[in-house]
Structure 1
Amino acid sequence: MNPTDSASAATRRYHRLDISQPAFWARDFRTRDEVFAQLRAEPGLTWHAPPPAFFPHDEPGFWAVTRHRDIAQISRHPELFTSSLGISLDPMPVEVQRPTTFFLMMDPPQHTRYRRLISSAFTPKQVRRIESQIRDNAAEIVDEFLTDLRSGQPTDFVDSLSRKLPMRTVSDMIGIERSDREGVAYAAEAMFSSSDEEYASLEERATFFMTQFGILHGAGTDLAQRRRQDPRDDLMSAIVEAEVDGHRLTDEEIGAFMVLLASAGNDTTKQTTSHGFKALVDHPAQREWLLEDFDARIGGAVEEFVRWATPVIHFARHAVTDTEVAGTRIRAGEKVVMFYCSANRDETALDAPHIFDITRGPNPHSGFGGGGAHFCLGAWLARMQIRLLFHELLTRAPEVVLGEPEYVHSDFVHGIKRMPVRLA
């Protein structure tokens, strides 16, 4: 048991390795993981200071959960670790988190009901329609990318390719008008990346964050109201009509789902595409191996793209009662933060985790969460988009040279803001 376990949260000593400050998250992924590797090697969990916050708070700190097996344990026991008290590493009022995260801050059985409601809208007909739209969009986006690439002008892989498919998918699925798509896409990206100085200073972040939330939430509630009056053959109409055990989603709830879909469903797939393509360019033999039998091999490759990218760095839970994880006593109400970025480089769970390997199998990564009730609802959609986009990209694009990526400064998203690309 850790020597600090008996201390109260207010007097417990913080770990010597500081993973809370913005300076830590400004380091590259591999350098950060050298610190996480030290934390994984520690007995039990480690206690850390709360990060600098743009909302007033009285949080004393958090337990860092860095090992794959411990994240799985917490994820699969919502009766011991609740989502309802907040899921953010950054100190943020529950009143702010709840409307911006929809059912991510719910526990079973409430979470189960809402998950069933959303899932019921994805009928086989809707899924076939979505797949057809994604296939068409992927071909069109690669056409546009190749035109940009051959123009001789500087081309940014993120702007020209990886950011386009997820937002078009979301827009087509729920029926966002073309004139509104750029504004919605920016709001989604900015919410995920609001800790980056390019979007807002520390003093401005609370207002900036809530402004982007308002744009997304307003777009969802407005669209829901219009679909109630004028149903169409799209996902939003299906969500409006969805019913489970006599319960339907309100316009406010649909607005909250819109925030979740547009932000989580957009940025995560975008980042996996960017990181995955960079890894293939850096490992040309693996690209060749994949292309030798693309249909049979892309499934495993997508899992490695997600593991390698780990686009979502963490989520938090709070202990419901006094309990124990890895020999560390966790008191009721204390925050535990599950660092998926660390779990996906855990040598005890994965062979040679610092090596990019699309032949990896098994691949029990935590890129879609640690399992349990909150396993990513949109995992199937992300996999479908990545599979169809990489088919177009790898079978049609010529050899390219990538410049140095510019990364998002964030403790939540492992993101690439820009990545120059040119013909080889």
Structure 2
Amino acid sequence: MAEWTATDPASTPPALREILVTLPSTPPASPRPYSEVDLSSRAFWDRTFDEREQSFAALRRGELSWHQPFDAPFPHAETGFWAATRLEDITFVSRRPEIFSSAEGIAISPLPKQIQEMTAFFLMMDPPEHTTFRRLISEAFTPRQVARVQSQIAAGAEEIVDGLVGAGSVDFVTACSGILPMRTVSDMIGIAPGDREAVRHAAEALFAGPSPAERAAGVDPLGFMLSQIELLRTAAIEIARHRREHPADDLMTNIVQAEVDGHRLTDEQIGAFMILLSSAGNDTTKQTTSHTILALSRHPEQKQWLMADWDGRIGRAVEEFVRWGTPVMDFARTAVVDTEIRGTPVLAGEKVALFYCSGNRDETVFERPHDFDLARTPNPHVGFGGGGVHYCLGHSVAKSQLRNLFQQLLTRIPDIEIGEPEWLPNTFVHGIERLPAYIP
């Protein structure tokens, strides 16, 4: 983490100084004992997914548990959080925005609300405000634009695999997984070809943070994140302003012209949407792609089952791709009234962490949850959220990318050899940083 503190203003990134001075010097005492299972330490998140799952499985067998707040490089007022690890608890909280609010923050870490708002846009809103802004974005996706996006995805998948055939030894993440999602975002928004690499790098850096070399050189993680946010925000605002003066037959023109109940998106809101789209619409599908190709290489019988009836089976298979990969591991909500979850009292103002990574392995819901099973049905996973008003707006685009890309990969390069992954240490994204592959 950063080497600055709130008591050392000279080392604090300027954009954070005003935020930090409003924060308390020390958090209040916890109102109750913490769980013996430590979900908050760096050591816990440095474990493998399967090792962490053993702890989540233990928590699923008990009542709702209370945990220490995550470490933060600045003071905060959080005393802890409740861990929703069962799928039933995740969906219960997700579908009751009048009780469990998103407006105070969606990060499980004690990240200032103002910083979260820069990247989350309408994810940090509750109805009716959230309803208005979600409708504004939805209005831009006319049937004509949806057809255009689908065509762009299909063409992009084919072009990516064209470049992979005969590539030999590659990093699959760089050569394949990371290309189509950000290309789709760039096509949708209208990012110029010459700017796309910078936009892609900024979008990925929001989750990954500075590179090992940058961290070793003392680059501040939060300051680094803010610089990536500014790049993405500025790119979208410039395009939006241009489209207001020079409309075209594209999605950005629809976005700037969309109106619901007298509301239109401002430049700043379009910038915020770009940040959300670049992060939520990029790294999630990228990581699902990497997890899926790794799982298919480890379970060739699943690939054989899928290819025996592609058209009839790919729908079910994509749902298992997402459940298995669970690219977003957690989000949070804040109780706005005193309530309870499965009989456990939760007080107003307390945070509830929704651990999708645990819900998607819930043995009370999924038969053989630790098996990669493309025929799984039903498959009520929470890979796109736990339902309710914040269910992923881009789920159909993500599924289209996965269908098109894997159709190209599995029909044209059926004998890809996949090596051992290098994992991205992260408390939010279930990430594969590098994945060696040999492509004949």
For the superposition of Structure 1 and Structure 2, which TM-score range results when normalised by the shorter chain? Answer: over 0.9
Is the 1:78–1:108 contact (alpha carbons within 8 Å) kept by the matching residues of 2?
Answer: yes
TM-fit CA distance, 1:397: 0.4
Q: Which residue of 2 is the match for residue 13 of structure 1? A: 33
Separation of aligned partners in 1, 2:364 and 2:119: 35
**Letter of the structure 1 residue corresponding to residue 56 of structure 2:** F
Residue 391 (str. 1) matches residue 411 (str. 2): no
Separation of aligned partners in 1, 2:29 and 2:396: 40
Q: Which residue of 1 is the match for residue 339 of structure 2? A: 323
Separation of aligned partners in 1, 2:152 and 2:41: 42
Is the 2:102–2:333 contact (alpha carbons within 8 Å) kept by the matching residues of 1?
Answer: yes
Separation of aligned partners in 1, 2:86 and 2:430: 18
Higher mean alpha-carbon deviation, 57-66 vs 77-86, is at 57-66
Residue 234 (str. 1) matches residue 250 (str. 2): yes
TM-fit CA distance, 1:200: 4.1
SS at match of 1:373: helix
Q: Residue by residue, what CA displacement relative to the aligned partner does 1:165-192 show, whole Å, maximum 9, x if unpaired?
A: 0011011111101111111111111112
Higher mean alpha-carbon deviation, 160-169 vs 217-226, is at 217-226
Q: Which residue of 1 is the match for residue 310 of structure 2? A: 294
> Map of 1:261-280 to 2, 5 A cutoff?
261-280=277-296
For residues 197 and 339 of structure 1, do their structure 2 counterparts lie closer, same or farther at Cα, with a shift above 3 Å needed? farther
Q: Which residue of 2 is the match for residue 172 of structure 1? A: 187
Q: Which residue of 1 is the match for residue 161 of structure 2? A: 142
Q: Which residue of 1 is the match for residue 44 of structure 2? A: 24
Q: Residue by residue, what CA displacement relative to the aligned partner does 1:65-91 show, whole Å, maximum 9, x if unpaired?
A: 100000000000000000000000111
Pick from 49, 52, 57: which aligns with 1:37? Answer: 57
SS at match of 1:380: helix
Q: Which residue of 1 is the match for residue 13 of structure 2? A: none
Separation of aligned partners in 2, 1:240 and 1:348: 46
Separation of aligned partners in 1, 2:234 and 2:436: 34
Q: Which residue of 2 is the match for residue 3 of structure 1? A: none
Residue 99 (str. 1) matches residue 118 (str. 2): yes
Separation of aligned partners in 1, 2:215 and 2:286: 21
Q: Which residue of 2 is the match for residue 207 of structure 1? A: 223
Higher mean alpha-carbon deviation, 53-62 vs 169-178, is at 53-62
Using the aligned pairs only, state the percent identity.
Answer: 56
**Letter of the structure 2 residue corresponding to residue 124 of structure 1:** P
For residues 199 and 242 of structure 1, do their structure 2 counterparts lie closer, same or farther at Cα, with a shift above 3 Å needed? farther
Q: Which residue of 1 is the match for residue 385 of structure 2? A: 369
The gaps in structure 1 that reach 5 residues or longer are 1-7
The gaps in structure 2 that reach 5 residues or longer are 1-27
> Map of 1:301-316 to 2, 5 A cutoff?
301-316=317-332
For residues 105 and 327 of structure 1, do their structure 2 counterparts lie closer, same or farther at Cα, with a shift above 3 Å needed? same
TM-fit CA distance, 1:288: 1.0
TM-fit CA distance, 1:333: 0.3
Separation of aligned partners in 2, 1:224 and 1:54: 35
Higher mean alpha-carbon deviation, 194-203 vs 259-268, is at 194-203
Separation of aligned partners in 2, 1:138 and 1:200: 34
Higher mean alpha-carbon deviation, 248-257 vs 222-231, is at 222-231
Is the 1:142–1:393 contact (alpha carbons within 8 Å) kept by the matching residues of 2?
Answer: yes
Q: Residue by residue, what CA displacement relative to the aligned partner does 1:71-128 show, whole Å, maximum 9, x if unpaired?
A: 0000000000000000001111111111210000000111011111000100100010
Superposition RMSD on alpha carbons, in Å?
A: 1.5
SS at match of 1:278: helix
Is the 1:55–1:93 contact (alpha carbons within 8 Å) kept by the matching residues of 2?
Answer: no
Separation of aligned partners in 1, 2:332 and 2:43: 21
Q: Residue by residue, what CA displacement relative to the aligned partner does 1:216-251 show, whole Å, maximum 9, x if unpaired?
A: 111111111111121222211110111111110000
Is the 2:417–2:439 contact (alpha carbons within 8 Å) kept by the matching residues of 1?
Answer: yes
**Letter of the structure 2 residue corresponding to residue 163 of structure 1:** G
SS at match of 1:316: strand
TM-score normalised over the length of structure 2: 0.91
TM-score normalised over the length of structure 1: 0.94
TM-fit CA distance, 1:194: 2.6
Is the 2:160–2:180 contact (alpha carbons within 8 Å) kept by the matching residues of 1?
Answer: yes
The number of aligned residues is 412
Separation of aligned partners in 1, 2:60 and 2:374: 25
SS at match of 1:315: strand
Q: Which residue of 1 is the match for residue 232 of structure 2? A: 216
TM-fit CA distance, 1:203: 7.5
Separation of aligned partners in 2, 1:26 and 1:199: 20
Q: Residue by residue, what CA displacement relative to the aligned partner does 1:130-167 show, whole Å, maximum 9, x if unpaired?
A: 11111111000001122423xxxx31100000100001
TM-fit CA distance, 1:423: 4.4
Separation of aligned partners in 2, 1:47 and 1:298: 40
Higher mean alpha-carbon deviation, 399-408 vs 64-73, is at 399-408
Is the 1:398–1:423 contact (alpha carbons within 8 Å) kept by the matching residues of 2?
Answer: no
Separation of aligned partners in 1, 2:341 and 2:213: 38
